[in-house]
A = this chain, B = another copy of it.
Amino acid sequence: MITLKELAKRCGVSTATVSNAINGKSNISEATKVRIMQMIKETGYKPNFMARNLRINSKRTIGLIIEELTAFSSAPLIEGIMSFLEEQKYETILYNMRVYSNPNWVSDESFVQYCVSNAASELIAKQVSGIIHVAEHSRKIKCYNKKLIVPVVICYAYPDERKMPHVSIDDETSTSKMAEYILSKGHTKIAMICGSKDNLHAQKRYKSFKRVLSEHNVEFDEEFCVFTNWSKEDGKIAAAKILKKNVTAVFCHNDFLAGGVYDYLYENNIQPGKDLLVTGFDNHLISSYLHPGITTMKLPLLEIGQKSAELMIEMLKSDSQCSCNGVEFPCELIIR
């Protein structure tokens, strides 16, 4: 690759002049400008981005720490972040932690700490002026306790201390909507298949659901409720446990669990939707392939990503001050 210096030599001018021409500075004669542009075309010269950034001390790059790129939520979140940042003329650098390739990353908090700190170091070495941490699933992120020299926004999860900007979903409002929907269909014996007990979403959804039921004077039997994990298989096993009692509806904490319930129902010749109302959460693509259609909550992933980027820019413009500590978006009820 040809350099500015070489280009200048070929044009018979100084590097300063070439630089001015390229950057559209005003005081340049048309003739030399044309000559330079001509030569750029001929040689295919491209300014060295690194050198330029080094010189002008650019502050227009944001680092993204992605816990797991292949998580279904990651791509839309990143899409939201990048589209917003692109509009604001910011660059983006991705750091892929790939936590799934370490089997026990969930349990090993110190391992996660280590990875995050590595990731942050590398991004800071690359001169990012801020970091957005894109979580694989919602939980408290404890890795940013020691102050970094750049602002951090947590996307799709919660911080350890309350003072950190983060963007996530509003489980309370969303769960309420879902509960109201189920009640509106006249159900009074309602089961719930919850995510894992240590998960924040699961906890909030559990609480909110119970609250709404009691507000409507509908009894909630703890025997109709089970905490499990998030997979289809978990849903099926849970269904076998719970659905023996004569419930008429079941609220699953995500669509995979609901898919497992469908499995169980099919095997036992119970018709979902008719004999038992099943609802899910996430509006994952798989939910639109279940028969019969399942009602679920749509995660506003794109919006969460965009908002995270927005908070980041806000902090950058105001010396790491953020107007809010956290934003939570309600989900949209998708009735099927």
**Does the CB pair B98–A83 fall under 8 Å?**
yes
Contacts of A121 in B (CB 8 A): 46
- A303 → chain B, closest Cβ, in Å? 14
0/1 interface trace, chain A 124-143, chain B, CB 8 Å (1 if under)? 11110000000000000000
Contacts of A75 in B (CB 8 A): 69-70, 74-75
**Does the CB pair B98–A46 fall under 8 Å?**
no
- Nearest to A69 among chain B residues (CB) is B75
- Is A285's beta carbon under 8 Å from chain B? yes
0/1 interface trace, chain A 38-56, chain B, CB 8 Å (1 if under)? 0000001011111101100
**Interface-lining segment among A176-184, A287-295, A319-327:** A287-295
Number of copies: 2
The majority secondary structure among interface residues of chain A is: helix
Residue of B48, B101, B232, B259 touching A83 (CB-CB under 8 A): B101
Q: How far is the CA of A121 from the CA of B70 in the complex (A)?
A: 28
Contacts of A1 in B (CB 8 A): 124, 149
CB contact list, A67-101 vs B, under 8 A: 69-70, 74-76, 78-79, 82-83, 92-94, 96, 98, 101
Q: How far is the CA of A289 from the CA of B231 in the complex (A)?
A: 12
**Can you spell out 11 A-B residue pairs with CB atoms less than 8 angstroms apart?**
A44-B149, A46-B121, A48-B127, A50-B127, A69-B78, A83-B101, A266-B292, A285-B285, A285-B286, A286-B286, A291-B291
0/1 interface trace, chain A 227-246, chain B, CB 8 Å (1 if under)? 00000100000000000000
- Is A281's beta carbon under 8 Å from chain B? no
Contacts of A209 in B (CB 8 A): none
Shortest beta-carbon contacts, A-B, top 3: A49-B125, A286-B289, A70-B75
Interface positions of A (Cβ within 8 A of B): 1, 44, 46-51, 53-54, 69-70, 74-76, 78-79, 82-83, 92-94, 96, 98, 101, 121-122, 124-127, 149, 232, 259, 262-263, 266, 285-286, 288-292
With most chain B CB atoms within 10 A of its CB, the pick from A78, A262, A289, A290 is A289
- Nearest to A64 among chain B residues (CB) is B94
